[in-house]
Amino acid sequence: MEFLYETHMHTSPVSACAESSPARQVRAYKDRGYTGIIVTDHFVNGNSSCPYHLTWQKKMEYFVSGYVKAKKEGDRCGLDVFFGWEFSIGGSDFLTYGLSPDFLLAHPDMDMLGIEKYSALVRGNGGFISQAHPYRKAFWIKRQHPTEPHLLDAIEVYNASMPADVNDKAYGFAVMHDLPIQAGSDSHSAHLHFSSGVILDKKAANVFDIIEAIKTRSARLITPDNKSK
């Protein structure tokens, strides 16, 4: 038996670029046969619709609202929903799992951190960081290649929203530096031609089980070559 998990997806309106509501996203993944998803909305230093003038507490309440709504719908329809986020530094994006909304509340202005301090903060508190689409090209990205490998726990080598050359370069980097790998859809809409993520051999009790599977390289990647969902 296999269990499918999305590791990279967004909800509207928290992620300014997303098109589908949390509930719609949850139902779409349930219909595709997924066991669970990690909601990774853009953090407030990325493509977020969070109003800038709010206090840190209000910003965090707004930010986690996508996850809260997704979790409610997941509980209703039988899809596991886990919490994460996509942190941006100079246009580069870092998927972050294993920490709670309370962690965010306790670290005001963490959106201003550079990658060295951010990595130390997250990993020092038991969290996990994977760089998303590290070779993505866009005018707003200051550094269009991966960060230093010792600052990462894994790297996204297949992103269903990226062209093949971007993914191929990420895979080559992971192999060169012996980094654990993962895949994700980078879904912004419930209407996907192909949805990605990772496959586990047993059901995850929590997000740490997904993290452990990635770190120990027992998670299989959902790619067009091995799974068409």
Alpha carbons 78 and 201: distance in angstroms, whole number: 19
Enter the tokens of residue 169.
């370069």
User: Would you state the pLDDT for residue 143?
Assistant: 73
Residue 133 placed within a domain? yes
Residue pair 152/177 in contact by the 8 Å Cβ criterion = no
- What per-residue confidence (pLDDT) applies to 227? 61
With beta carbons less than 8 A apart as the criterion, state whether 88 and 143 touch. no
Q: What is the pLDDT of residues 13-70, one digit of tens each?
A: 999 999 999 999 999 999 999 999 999 999 999 999 999 999 999 999 999 999 999 9
Per-chain mean pLDDT for the chain: 95
Residue 147 pLDDT class (50, 70, 90 cuts) = very high
Residue 51 inside a domain? The answer is yes
Please report whether residue 181 resides in a domain. yes
128 belongs to a structural domain: yes
* Cβ atoms 170, 95 nearer than 8 A: no
How confident is the model at residue 136, as a pLDDT?
Answer: 87
Is the per-residue pLDDT at 139 higher than 80? no
Examine residue 227 and state whether it is found in any structural domain, yes or no: no
The parent domain of residue 208 ranges over: 3-222
Residue 137 has what pLDDT?
79
What CATH number is given to the structural domain containing 209?
Answer: 3.20.20.140
At how many degrees (to 10) do helices 22-31 and 56-77 cross?
30
For residue 140, is pLDDT > 80? no
In a domain, 228, yes or no: no
Residue 131 lies inside a defined structural domain of this protein: yes
Residues making up the chain, counted from first to last: 229
CA nearest neighbour of 197 among 74, 34, 68: 34
Q: Is 53 exposed, middle or buried (0-12, 13-18, 19+ CB in 10 A)?
A: exposed
pLDDT class of 138 with cuts at 50, 70, 90: confident
Residue 154 confidence (pLDDT) above 80: yes
- Using one digit for the tens of pLDDT, what is the confidence trace for 167-201? 999 999 999 999 999 999 999 999 988 999 999 99
pLDDT value of position 225? 81
- Stretch 132-159: mean pLDDT: 89
What's the domain count of the chain?
Answer: 1
Q: How confident is the model at residue 226, as a pLDDT?
A: 74
**Is residue 229 one of the residues assigned to a domain?**
no
Confidence of residue 81 (pLDDT cuts 50, 70, 90): very high
